[in-house]
Each structure stands twice: as structure tokens, then as C-alpha cells.
Structure 1
Amino acid sequence: MVSWSPDVAGRLSLQLLKGVGTALELKLQRLGLQSIEDLWMHLPLRYQDRTRLLPLAGLQPGDEALVQVQVVLADRAQGRRPSFLCRVQDGTGSLTLRFFHFNAGQMKSLTPGVCLECFGEVRPGPAGLEMIHPEYRVIPHLGLPVERAALTPIYPLTEGLPQTRIRRLLEQSLLYLTPEALPDLLPSAWLQRQGMPGLIEALRFLHQPPPNVDQQALLSGQHPAQQRLVLEELLAHHLSLQRVRAVLRAPGALSLPRSQTLQKQFLARLPFPLTAAQQRVGEEIAQDLTAQVPMLRLVQGDVGSGKTLVAALAVLQAVEAGQQAVVMAPTEILAEQHYRNFSAWLEPLGIQVAWLVGKLKGKARHQQLQAIASGEAQVVLGTHALFQEGVAFASLALLVIDEQHRFGVHQRLSLREKGCAEGRMPHQLIMTATPIPRTLTMSAYADLDVSIIDELPPGRTPIQTLVLADTRRDEVIERVREACQQGRQAYWVCTLIEESEALQCQAAEVTAAQLAERLPELTIGLVHGRMKAADKAEVMRAFKAGELALLVATTVIEVGVDVPNASLMIIENPERLGLAQLHQLRGRVGRGTAASHCVLMYHAPLSQAGRERLAVMRETQDGFRIAEKDLELRGPGEVLGTRQTGMMQFRIADLTRDAHWIPTLHVLAEQMLAQTPQEAEALIRRWMGSSEAYAQV
């Protein structure tokens, strides 16, 4: 051990380590490593076994092997890509070392007779097995004892910071690892009951695992040392979200008494009754709104389950209490649909509805801003434009945020500021039609209460899903012709190409032109993300009004399009999309009483993951089953959307593998917050680092 002196924040400076100057410190900071403590928590991605020498005779392509060899031939090979080749042997067999990047000094040192210890991946080559750019060192003779007594960790890197450098820094840093420098923050009695190692023991093990370790357990993430840290990381994330919840609820909120009149009038005008699930969730929300702490509730409901009606009931409760309510959507298409729906529902009840989106300019925008600021507009619909500077509310008491996963936690926290008045915060109701696996709900949304509308309105017909290769495109076009000639409408969706919106829109334009040529008797519309908002809105209006038979679109129609007469959807290249997005797109049909179909037209060959995704879509319409499979295939960051991933990039935890810990960590979090809040704060800082600042938004 070495003596140390922490900085003013109680953390050890990286410059205590030999060789760390300003330049290297900046590279380490790119990895989020601000201190030696951060370095200890910089955990290996995987391990290589460099503890055992392997004979050349036993090597197979794909092996990562440590070998000791003697150079028997060294020469520069000419060709399209020059390389330096060393033919080596160890008495059992031979191997070629190939270097594409080499220099005169290297060629001079690697001469016949020189002995080397090499590590690299074995690959097939023109003259037998090869290692390309192996790590190597010159040794005095063959048969030298192997220096390493532990498996070699492979760490996350950044540009200009190779594995050898980060390993040397980690080895140095472990000299400072003591109980004083890194206290164990979990209750010791609980750790003993679980049979888990202490924190320092677990970290030393993971940075320098012994050669006799159970490699299968280590590589699968199931080793007790890994699971000790998995639990601590999941607990830190959960505690941080509980702190977000405490911050949001601390100021209190205006109690909104239950609606006695408006809700009854509203329900009486509907041509159908609410489902039992809608009634149950509506009751949970109504109860929340009467409290003097801000409601923080997430409503999940599959496509078409009637979440918007439940939101309308909450809005009416706010309006009847003399307050304003806001409904915010991620796209102008969805915002405009909400505006039409809420206007039709609420204006007959004498409620003034305003709307605010980016495309609204000049006098029209000024009038809407005035109505919002004066309180004349009791309900306001719009996009994120609602929360730009210059937008003021008279008495905002309720925020309804649709498709919240597209906004992300930072925006969720910032929205509350607009409704902050006299020390009170608005209630927040968050809706999503993207079913979120229970594992993610309990981790990514631990700051929210969760309600699930798990019942579809009666009369909805199941959607039949077909999976076809694009070699059958002519058949699919004929199917579109038949459906439209029978008075139905259809969607043709062009998916993302190479992550480029420009190419995506171009593909949609080309497809629309081709279909217009093949189907001259049909009226065809086109919608994509680069169109002007007014043009896009006009096409959507025409499609909804039945003036267009076929709508060619990019994935902008994923949410917010409700055309009951549309009964056929074609999705090109569905293998490019995640399951949740496919499920959302499919949900644009099947909204009426007619039999509906979704054709997933893929381009062969399909990857294994692509085959699995399309098979799940064909087999089920259960959004929660689809979401669980999506989580399994793509991971939490992708499922939640890129804006949410900052919170979900775990260092060692895997929500699919480690879901069994979630009930335990809920109990443990409550215990720590109640009994040892200082340890809870320290645990958040240890694992979240600077990223936990979102809790202060």
C-alpha cells in the first residue's frame, strides 16, 4: 500500500499515478475518469487468458493465444498492400506473424534466431495460420516462465489510450485501494447474509482475476464478484431516481378536487363506455390529483387502448378546479391530432383550447401566447415549443406528456419549471404507447408511479401479419390495388436507410413515383420528415378525409395517425427497425372494424436477429411480450430511445441478465434512505459520477 492525500472533494488525483500528466489526464476524462476512485470503477469488458502458453500445433482459427516462438524467416512482402512477415516455430508447429504497419527498427530487431512471446488472434492465411499485429516482446530463450498470474482484463478505451497503458494505470491505482479510500457502503450484515464479497475484494478480483477462476461464470457475468458490483450499480441508479422523485415532489402541488360536472358531461357525450382498464387508471389519476404533492404517473397502454381519453379526464379535473392543463407531444403530426381531438371533446363543454407548435408564426402565434398567459386558454396542446422562452402560463397545474420516452429524463425534469408558482409544482401525467418491460419500468422509471391500460376497446379486430421477401413485391402491389378498389386505404412505409434522413426521404419519393406508375388509378400521397410542416399536415388531412387511397411515408407516421378506414400496411425492410417501432407502425391499422393486414416485406438474407424480430411480429400482437423480446435483442438504451440512454449505460449491470435483483434493491434502497442517507448519496456519486447532475435539473 502507499500513502495518499485526497483532494478537497475527498478524491484521489489521477496525477498521483506515475506517467499521468495533463495530456493523459484529459484522455482519461474523456472516459469519465476524473480520479483514482473512478479508475477503480472502470471495469473490464471481458478477459483474455495469457496465463498459459499454447503449442502452435494445437491452435485453431479464432483462438486468442499466448505462444513462445523463434523467428526462422523474416521478409517484406510486396503487393497491393505491403506487409512484413515473420515465419516462426516452437518445435510443435509453425505460424506467420503479419505486420501491415511496420518500420525499419522493427525489421531490424525481428531477425532469424530471435525468440518472442506473442499474444494475438489466430486467423487463416495464404500459407497457413497467422497472427496479424500480435502483441509481442523479445525474450532470451524459449521455455521462459509466463509472467502473468492473472487473466488479462480488456477495458473500454478512448483514442490515444491503448490497453497496455490503461492496464498499467489500473495496476498502479490498486496500490491505493484501501477501506479508507473506498469504504463499503452496503450494510455489512446484509452482505454476509447474501454471501457476497466485500467491495475491495470484488474490485481486486475483477481487475486481476486469478488463472484458476471459473472462467465460464466470469465471462457470463455471473461470478459473485461481478454480481456484488452489479447490485451496487443497480442500487445507485435506483437511488438516484428516488432522489429525482424527492426533488420533484418536495415543493408540493395544488390539490385539484375531483370533477363533479365536466367529467360526467364528457362521458355522456362519448358514443361508447370506457373499458374497465380505463376506469381503473382514471381513478388512480384522479386520486393522485387531489393530493398536495405533485403526481408523477406513467400510463402505459398498447396501441389503441384509449390513453388519450384517460388523459382528457385528468385535464377536465384540472379545468374544473380553475387551472390550466398542457398536453405535449413529440411531433407536430401527433400534436395536431391531439388538438383536433381535444377541441372536439372540450369546446362543446365551454372550454377554450389553444395550440402552440414551431410552425405557428406572427399574429397567430402572438394570439395563442396571449390566451395562454392570460388564462383564457384553459387547455393548451403542442410540441416542445410550449416550453420555450417567452411562453408563460397563468396557472399551469397539470402536464400531460405523450410518448415521453422520446423526450428523456432531462426534459421531463425541466418541464416542471413552467408550472412553478408560489412554491408549487404541476402534476405530471406521462403516457406511452410503447410497452416498456417491467424490468425497465422498475429501473428507468423508478421515479414514477406506473399504471397500465391492459385492455383494448371492444370491436377492434386483430391484425394479421405476413412476412414476405421483397422478391414478391409485384404480389404486394396487387394486394394494395385490391384493398383500395374495395374502398379501403393503405400505408406504404419506407424505413431508415443508413441512418440518413435525406436518403430515407429520397427513398420514399422514389417509391411514391414507382407506385404512382404501377397504380395510376389510385390517388397517392407522400409524407416524410423533410417536408414543410404545412405540406405534411395537408397530406395527412387529405388521407384522414379519404381523399387519398395510399399514403407513402417514412416512419414519421409511427405515432399519432388515426385513420380507421386504413386496413393495410406495407413496411419495406422491416429488419432495419426495432420491434417496438414495428409494433407502433403496425398499430396504425386495425383501428376500425374491418379485417386489417400488415405485410413485412424484407430484403434477403436476414440476420439471425432479423429473423427473430420478424417471427415475434408474426406470432403476437401483445405489446409487452414484444417489448420484452426487444429488450433481449437490443438492450435498454436502444429500447428507451437514444435520448434516454445516458441514464441506462451501465458499466457492469445487464438488465436482462440481472433483473432478479430489482425487487431486492427496492427494499435495500428504502432501508438505506431511511437509515443511512449519507451512504446512499455516496453510492450515487460513486456510480453516477457527473451524470447524476440530472437530478438537479
Structure 2
Amino acid sequence: MNRDEGSSGRGTFPPVTILKGIGPKIMVHLQRLHIHTVQDLLFHLPIRYQDRTRIRQIGTLQPGDECVLLGTVDHSEMVYRKRRMLLVSVSDGTGRILLRFFHFNKTQQENLAPGVSVRCFGEVRRGVSSLEMVHPEYEIQRTPDAIRVEDHLTPIYPTTEGLHQLALRRVTLQALRWAEGDGAPDLDLLPEFPEIDGCQASVIEALKFVHRPPPEADTQALAAGTHVMQRRLAFEELLAQRLSLFKLRLRMQRQPAVSIAPQGRLYAQLIETLEFALTSAQQRVINTVFADLKKNYPMLRLVQGDVGSGKTLVAIAACLQVIEAGYQAVVMAPTEILAEQHLQNFSGWLAPLGVQLAWLSGRMTSSQSNEMKARISSGSAQAIVGTHALFQQGVSFRNLALVVVDEQHRFGVHQRLALREKGVQGVGSPHQLIMTATPIPRTLAMTAYADLDYSVIDELPPGRMPVSTIAVPHERRHEVVRRVANACRRDQQAYWVCTLVEESEALQCQAAENVYQELSALLDEVTVGLVHGRMKSQEKNAVMRDFACGRIDLLVATTVIE
């Protein structure tokens, strides 16, 4: 995120090319790391540190240590085994270590001659007969006065191929010095520095510490990301993020949208036809959505609720308001099965009210698709249900004012933007109502970063049994199979969902087919069905109808059933 968005316009940062040594070649590498300005460079923070502030005695070293040591070359030889190597034995009076080089030239071999004093840095490893360092950084010590160590911990930055750590350290140091100059923009967003664990530090003080920690710094806290100076930067970043969201909300409210405020005649008719009463949570969310629709800027609301909590009815209520006002509403789902389920629900509730529905799917024939597109563009279709086919360039709406998206995390950002741009021509963006049954991390992230308003249907209709979630180890799989079989014999039904950590439709389908064969062989008295994303639409519909009618006891499926 660009912190300039939350800086109230108090000055911008110049391009990183103002720093010495950054030419076109290095700039290409920095751009790969998304470093374009001096500010970007300042906030490109180290991922770890090396301690080069003190010289360790060889006799104290342990495998895994990264350290500086000073010793004298006792022996140097080039050997030929599986590959050419230069082996250099170094001691300091407390112990001996082997330096191993695979890539070297004649000059290096001559410089590392017996009797030469050498200072080197590297990771200590356990060798065949002694400790060793492989390809350490080293420097020949010509005189005792030339021995030096760093005065701060050495930062290790995220980098890319072709960009050396030395180059990053050099330009970062320049950036820190530039930021302390009189002409640099103020990095702090608050007039007074916040106090964190008794420490009040400016952003530049925190940046200097994190980029160049002193030798006595708490390295464990730095490694864990919990040091007070790192938390100071985290505070500033969160503050900038919140200010950016506030500016984003103001910008969204300046975008025009159709104000929807009908009398509610269709919604009242819908309520009269229901054989049950809305829950208080449903009514609360519906009232909130109606209030959003009355505004002259786009609604952008996420409605979260468990399966069976009544999210679909909230969406139908929103659609009826828009349709009664003379506009179109679209309902979009990520899979054909879910879209068809919405079509059936919407048809059952909206058709008796005289609402004209249309259905658009990528698996339609050309003639069917063209017919639906004509109805949509003419406006004769008031509510449109479909899948990603609604994104196609050939699909145009006459006066789209509401987009309902189910399980939005399954759609890409560009797909959602494409549908949003199909709103009422000359009036503005359509309102957006987003539904999800599971507030997965990405959806929560969208709430934070895309400025979604958030409503929860936290009440189930009367008579619904609470859902129990139990994790069972694979070793008890046979118990799960037995319990499912017993439930099916009592005329109950079950899903067996095959998921994978890495999303792959082909692998998921193969896993489901294997489980289907396994359970069919184990459960003679149980009717087992199978559904996955690679089946034809007619096949999936037939299986789902059989399951709904009770002709299938156990349905093995991939996540397509979501």
C-alpha cells in the first residue's frame, strides 16, 4: 500500500534514481521488488540480520553459527575429487576450521597462502573431520591495524536475481540520510509520536534502527518481528491503511448510483406468500440493505451467514426493490450448480409475482445464449441469474442497478469490475450485494481493503438443529464410514466432500472418483452417488435431483457443491 495515500498531501517522495549509483540496470531490479520511490526503499525492510560486530574464536564455534572469525592460514591446497576445490585450513590458537571454495581463480589461490592473516564471514557447517565454511566472504589482513568489524547488525533484505545485498545496503543508507535532510517530506502521520512500551520514536528513528540495529539490539525480538521499533512502524502502517480506507470510502461516495426507493409493493407481496416468518436477523439485514439502496452512491455490502440462515431471501428482497423501481438485477454464482440452485429458488418466489427471469450460462447453445442476451439488453428480463458468462463482452444490460454475487472470493478482481462497469449507462455504478457462508481469510481481507460494509445473519430459523464440526484423524476413517452407513440406513443422507490443499479440478475429480469406488464397494446397502465439476451439466443436474428426491443416500462430491 502507498503511504502517500494517507499522508494528507504533505509532500511526495522523489524517484529512487536521485540516489547515487542507481542507473537503468539497478532500477530494473528494484522495480521487480516494487521499489520506485525513496519511500518504497525506506520501507523495504530486512527479513533477518547477521552479526558481524564481533570476532568469534574458532574454538567456540558451533554448526549453524553465522559469524566473523580471524585466523592464520596454515595450509592451502587444490584438490580434484568429484569437482575441483580449494581447501584452506585456518587456525587462531583456539581451534581450526576449513574454508572450502568451489569457484576460485589463481589469484585467490595465491592470496590464501600459508602464513596469511585472513578475516572471513560465513555459516559454520559440520565437515568430514572438522568444522568448515563453504565459500565464506573473506578479506586478507595486511596489517593488524586494518582489522575492523561492523558497528551495527548487518541487514539481509528481500532481493531478486542480479541485485546484491551490498547494493541494497548502500542505497538504503543513502535513503536514510536523505530522509533526515531538511527538504525531505515528513514521514510521521501524527503530530505527536505514539508511546509503545514506554518508547516514543519518530518513524525515521524507527527506520534507522530497523535498517541498522546496534550490536546490543534484542536479536530474538527482531527475528520475531516484535521489537518495539518494528511495532512502531507497524502502527504507522496500520494508521496509513485506515486513512487510505477513509479516503477510499469518501471517493466511493462521490461515485453516482441510482437511488432505489420504491413503495415496497413487491416485497410486501413476497412476505405474504411465505409460509414462515423472517428471523429478526434477516429483517435487520434487509432493512440495512434497503437503506443502502436509497443512497445515491453504490452500496458495497458483504452479508455473511451460515448455510440455511436465509441469505438468499435477503438477496431476493433487494432484487425486488430494484425491479419495482424499474431497473434490472443480476445474481451471479461461481459454479453452474450453485447458479442453477439460485435460478430454481428465484423462479419459485419471483415468478408468482410476475417478475421476468433470464438465465445465462457458458454451456448454453449459441441460439439459447443469443436469445437470453437479447432479452437482457432489451430490458424484458428483469432478474438475471448466471455464471461467469455474464462477464462476456457481448452481454449488455438495459439498466442494471444491482449485482448480487454469491461466494465473491471465487471471482477474480477483473471479473467483478467487468460486471460493475455494465451498470446503468450515464447514471453510475450498480449497487453490489455480496453473500458468503464462510468468512474465509480472503473475504475478511476484502472487508479491510476493499471497504466493504459488513452484515451478519447471526440467527437460524426456528427448528434448525445446531451444526457440530468435528475433526477426526485419518486413523479413524473406518469409524466415519461406519457412522455414515448407519445414518443412511436410518433414511438420512450425507455428503462426502473431497478437497485438496492445492486447488486442482482434475485432481479433485480423480480423488472423488476413487472415494466413490471405495465407498460403493464398502457400503452394499447404501446408494452412493458422484458429482464433480467435469461432469456434463445434464449429468450433474440428474445426480442432484436424485439426491434431492432421496434416491441417493450418500453423495460423493468435490467442492463444486458449494
TM-score, length of structure 1 as denominator length = 0.71
1:429 matched to 2:425: no
AA aligned opposite 2:164:
P
Q: Distance in 1 between matches of 2:363 and 2:70?
A: 69
C-alpha distance 137-519 of structure 1, shift in aligned 2 (>3 A):
farther
Residues 322-347 of structure 1: per-residue CA shift (max 9 Å, x gap): 22111122222222211111111111
1:527 matched to 2:531: yes
Verify the 8 A CA contact 2:301 2:434 in the aligned structure 1.
Answer: yes
Q: Which residue of 1 aligns with 2:178?
A: 176
AA aligned opposite 2:185:
P
C-alpha distance 169-520 of structure 1, shift in aligned 2 (>3 A):
same
C-alpha distance 210-486 of structure 1, shift in aligned 2 (>3 A):
same
- Which of the residues 7, 11, 14 maps onto 1:11? 14
Residues 56-112 of structure 1: per-residue CA shift (max 9 Å, x gap): 333333333222233334456766677654443322223344445556655554444
1:231 matched to 2:235: yes
Verify the 8 A CA contact 1:480 1:490 in the aligned structure 2.
Answer: yes
Deviation at 1:366, TM superposition (A): 1.2
Q: How does 1:328-347 map to 2 (within 5 A)?
A: 328-347=332-351
Q: Distance in 2 between matches of 1:461 and 1:171?
A: 62
1:554 matched to 2:558: yes
- Secondary structure at 2:55 match in 1: coil
Q: How does 1:47-126 map to 2 (within 5 A)?
A: 47-75=49-77, 84-99=86-101, 106-126=108-128
C-alpha distance 554-446 of structure 1, shift in aligned 2 (>3 A):
closer
Structure 1: which 5+ residue stretches go unaligned? Answer: 1-8, 560-697
Q: Distance in 1 between matches of 2:282 and 2:327?
A: 24
1:241 matched to 2:245: yes
C-alpha distance 498-315 of structure 1, shift in aligned 2 (>3 A):
closer
Q: Distance in 1 between matches of 2:169 and 2:535?
A: 51
Q: How does 1:578-617 map to 2 (within 5 A)?
A: none
Q: Which residue of 2 aligns with 1:313?
A: 317
Q: Distance in 1 between matches of 2:324 and 2:278?
A: 21
Q: How does 1:358-507 map to 2 (within 5 A)?
A: 358-407=362-411, 409-435=413-439, 440=444, 444-445=448-449, 447-496=451-500, 500-507=504-511
Q: Distance in 2 between matches of 1:543 and 1:190?
A: 64
Structure 2: which 5+ residue stretches go unaligned? Answer: 1-11
Q: Distance in 1 between matches of 2:267 and 2:413?
A: 31
- Which of the residues 196, 203, 214 maps onto 1:199? 203
- Secondary structure at 2:421 match in 1: helix
Verify the 8 A CA contact 1:496 1:554 in the aligned structure 2.
Answer: no
- Secondary structure at 2:496 match in 1: strand
C-alpha distance 276-467 of structure 1, shift in aligned 2 (>3 A):
same
C-alpha distance 286-466 of structure 1, shift in aligned 2 (>3 A):
closer
C-alpha distance 76-467 of structure 1, shift in aligned 2 (>3 A):
farther
AA aligned opposite 2:488:
C
Q: Distance in 2 between matches of 1:340 and 1:80?
A: 70
Q: Which residue of 2 aligns with 1:679?
A: none
Residues 343-398 of structure 1: per-residue CA shift (max 9 Å, x gap): 11111221122121222231111121111112211111112321321211122111
Verify the 8 A CA contact 1:68 1:143 in the aligned structure 2.
Answer: no
Q: Distance in 2 between matches of 1:81 and 1:484?
A: 66
Q: Distance in 2 between matches of 1:527 and 1:83?
A: 60
Q: Distance in 2 between matches of 1:73 and 1:328?
A: 74
Verify the 8 A CA contact 2:399 2:424 in the aligned structure 1.
Answer: no
Q: Distance in 2 between matches of 1:304 and 1:107?
A: 75
- Which of the residues 29, 43, 52 maps onto 2:45? 43
Verify the 8 A CA contact 1:52 1:146 in the aligned structure 2.
Answer: no
- Which of the residues 24, 28, 31 maps onto 1:29? 31
Deviation at 1:196, TM superposition (A): 4.0
Verify the 8 A CA contact 1:70 1:142 in the aligned structure 2.
Answer: no
Q: Which residue of 1 aligns with 2:8?
A: none
Q: Which residue of 2 aligns with 1:351?
A: 355
Deviation at 1:247, TM superposition (A): 3.6
C-alpha distance 215-380 of structure 1, shift in aligned 2 (>3 A):
same
- Secondary structure at 2:422 match in 1: helix
C-alpha distance 345-181 of structure 1, shift in aligned 2 (>3 A):
farther
- Which of the residues 136, 139, 144 maps onto 1:137? 139
Verify the 8 A CA contact 1:197 1:224 in the aligned structure 2.
Answer: no
Q: Which residue of 2 aligns with 1:602?
A: none
C-alpha distance 115-360 of structure 1, shift in aligned 2 (>3 A):
farther
Residues 113-144 of structure 1: per-residue CA shift (max 9 Å, x gap): 34333333334444344434433333336796
Deviation at 1:149, TM superposition (A): 0.7
TM-score, length of structure 2 as denominator length = 0.87
Verify the 8 A CA contact 1:266 1:345 in the aligned structure 2.
Answer: yes
Verify the 8 A CA contact 2:13 2:39 in the aligned structure 1.
Answer: no
AA aligned opposite 1:11:
P
Q: Distance in 2 between matches of 1:28 and 1:116?
A: 34
Q: Distance in 2 between matches of 1:334 and 1:66?
A: 62
C-alpha distance 191-76 of structure 1, shift in aligned 2 (>3 A):
same
- Secondary structure at 1:418 match in 2: coil
Q: Distance in 2 between matches of 1:515 and 1:112?
A: 73
- Secondary structure at 2:358 match in 1: strand
AA aligned opposite 2:261:
P
- Secondary structure at 1:298 match in 2: strand
- Secondary structure at 1:189 match in 2: coil
Q: Distance in 1 between matches of 2:125 and 2:236?
A: 40
- Which of the residues 141, 145, 148 maps onto 1:146? 148
| Paired residue total | 549
Identity across matched positions, percent: 53
Q: Distance in 1 between matches of 2:121 and 2:195?
A: 42
Q: Distance in 2 between matches of 1:551 and 1:104?
A: 71
| Alignment RMSD (CA, Å) | 3.2
1:540 matched to 2:544: yes
- Secondary structure at 1:113 match in 2: coil
C-alpha distance 328-437 of structure 1, shift in aligned 2 (>3 A):
same
- Secondary structure at 2:207 match in 1: helix
Verify the 8 A CA contact 1:182 1:200 in the aligned structure 2.
Answer: no
Q: Distance in 1 between matches of 2:79 and 2:557?
A: 53
- Secondary structure at 1:373 match in 2: helix
Deviates more, 1:52-61 or 1:190-199: 190-199
Verify the 8 A CA contact 2:15 2:38 in the aligned structure 1.
Answer: yes
Q: Distance in 2 between matches of 1:165 and 1:291?
A: 53
Deviation at 1:414, TM superposition (A): 4.4
AA aligned opposite 1:201:
E
Q: Distance in 2 between matches of 1:133 and 1:483?
A: 64
Q: Distance in 1 between matches of 2:503 and 2:453?
A: 35
Verify the 8 A CA contact 1:251 1:423 in the aligned structure 2.
Answer: no
Comparing both chains, which one has the higher relative contact order based on Cα–Cα distances under 8 Å and sequence gaps of 6 or more? 1
AA aligned opposite 1:148:
E
Residues 525-564 of structure 1: per-residue CA shift (max 9 Å, x gap): 333344444444443343333333332233333x2xxxxx
1:283 matched to 2:287: yes
Q: Distance in 2 between matches of 1:168 and 1:259?
A: 67
Q: Which residue of 1 aligns with 2:9?
A: none
Deviation at 1:492, TM superposition (A): 2.5
Q: Distance in 1 between matches of 2:386 and 2:416?
A: 15
Verify the 8 A CA contact 1:258 1:286 in the aligned structure 2.
Answer: no
Residues 258-313 of structure 1: per-residue CA shift (max 9 Å, x gap): 55322222223333222221111111111111222222222222343222221111
AA aligned opposite 1:245:
R
Q: Distance in 2 between matches of 1:304 and 1:144?
A: 76
